[in-house]
DNA sequence: TAAGAATAATTCGTATAAGAATTAAATCCG
DNA sequence: CGGATTTAATTCTTATACGAATTATTCTTA
């Protein structure tokens, strides 16, 4: 592998992984009838409930608007509840419904997802290699995302923050 | 980094990179007014034209239906042309329009994209590390994608093929 | 305190992406 | 030859995901 080490071929490899991950993420999970993002949201909520929409968005590295759609679908399935906060009536507290909690306790493996199960089979050493590679990529992508002024010449909206959803 | 080497934290790191990549891919490129997938399609077409829709889909690791939408938008912008093939009148041959070719020759850097430019700044050694990590991930994801019978118990539609879009 | 700024959630429009179904054309085979 | 199967492109529905705009509420500050 990687005998042809041109940037081109590596890029293609990366794109392919991302496409595969997207595919994996979006396909409905047969066992639960939920998509990857939906399963991920359930898992994050189960570990952090009660939490606000923007907190969930930050933990999932997406924008609040995206989480609203996911929550709409999970609420329609009866897996989560949205309750207006008393302290801050702008905020909405998210929790798992009884049915949602049942799902988590009954099938933790389903919630985990195939990706996590697959990675858990790797030796620690390889996990660290992958993590290091991810760190390099996030550095590249992060710099381009948050500091475009050096690249594009526009000096607006530059913040060195770490969390995509500021809340 | 990676001091806490639990699978959990590594998974989160990976998810974050994918999210960042998605974000990067989808944001419209300011210089050309094109999205990441649109730029990528232009690049692939420029290197392989004339080619069929399903060939383009295979080279981009997506389904034909997805490429149709991208081509619709590129055609509306006047950057690509669709011509019904004479040999096989089911097929459509895709090419860059004069304007599309002009874009490629005038601004190859734009077509390349920030991700490639960022990666090109890395030393060869690190690129190989990243490539190896990607290979491991694609192995995990690929196995789950193409051979679900061992995991889910369903023994249908199992093919060890390499190309997502069979054409 | 009241006007203005900031924040939380939502809605809207656009773009990817998948899968399923459809249409049209080519190929297979009996 | 002619029906059946396969293949290519397209359309449709659903689900993410973003940015921008809206609304409601809270915080600031003059």
Q: Is the peptide bond before A134 cis (omega within 30 degrees of 0)?
A: no
| Interatomic CA distance for residues A34 and B158, integer angstroms | 22
Model confidence pLDDT, tens digit, residues B40-77: 999 999 999 899 999 999 999 999 999 999 999 999 99
Cβ-based burial of B31 (10 A; exposed 0-12, middle 13-18, buried ≥19) = exposed
Report the CATH architecture of B27-112.
Orthogonal Bundle (1.10)
In chain A, residues under CATH classification 1.10.10.10 are 7-113
**Chain B 54-93, residues with CB within 8 Å of chain A CB atoms:** 60-62
| CATH number given to A7-113 | 1.10.10.10
In chain B, residues under CATH classification 1.10.10.10 are 27-112
Whether A110 has its CB under 8 Å from any CB of chain B: the answer is no
| Interatomic CA distance for residues B103 and A20, integer angstroms | 29
ipTM, interface predicted TM-score of the complex: 0.79
Q: Which residues contact B20 (CB under 8 A, 6 or more apart)?
A: A61, A137, A138, A141, A142, A145
Put simply, the answer to whether A16 touches B130 (Cβ < 8 Å) is: no
| Interatomic CA distance for residues B105 and A12, integer angstroms | 21
Q: Which of A134, A145, A162, A164 to mutate to test the interface with B (most CBs of B within 10 A)?
A: A134
Model confidence pLDDT, tens digit, residues A73-95: 999 999 999 999 999 999 999 99
B147 CA to centre of own chain = 22
Q: What is the pLDDT of residue B123?
A: 79
- At A113 the three-state DSSP class reads coil
């Amino acid at each position: 592998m990687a005998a042809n080490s041109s940037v081109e071929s590596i890029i293609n490899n990366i794109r392919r992984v991302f496409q595969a991950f997207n595919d994996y993420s979006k396909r409905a999970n047969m066992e639960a009838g939920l998509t990857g993002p939906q399963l991920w949201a359930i898992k994050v909520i189960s570990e952090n409930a009660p939490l606000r929409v923007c907190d969930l968005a930050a933990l999932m590295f997406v924008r609040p608007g995206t989480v609203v759609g996911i929550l709409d679908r999970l609420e329609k399935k009866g897996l989560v509840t949205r309750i207006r906060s008393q302290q801050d009536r702008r905020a909405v507290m998210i929790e798992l419904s009884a049915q949602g909690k049942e799902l988590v306790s009954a099938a933790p493996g389903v919630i985990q997802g195939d990706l996590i199960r697959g990675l858990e089979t790797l030796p620690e050493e390889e996990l660290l290699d992958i993590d290091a590679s991810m760190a390099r990529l996030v550095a590249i992508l992060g710099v381009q995302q948050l500091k475009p002024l050096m690249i594009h010449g526009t000096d607006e909206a530059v913040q060195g923050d770490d969390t995509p959803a500021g809340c």
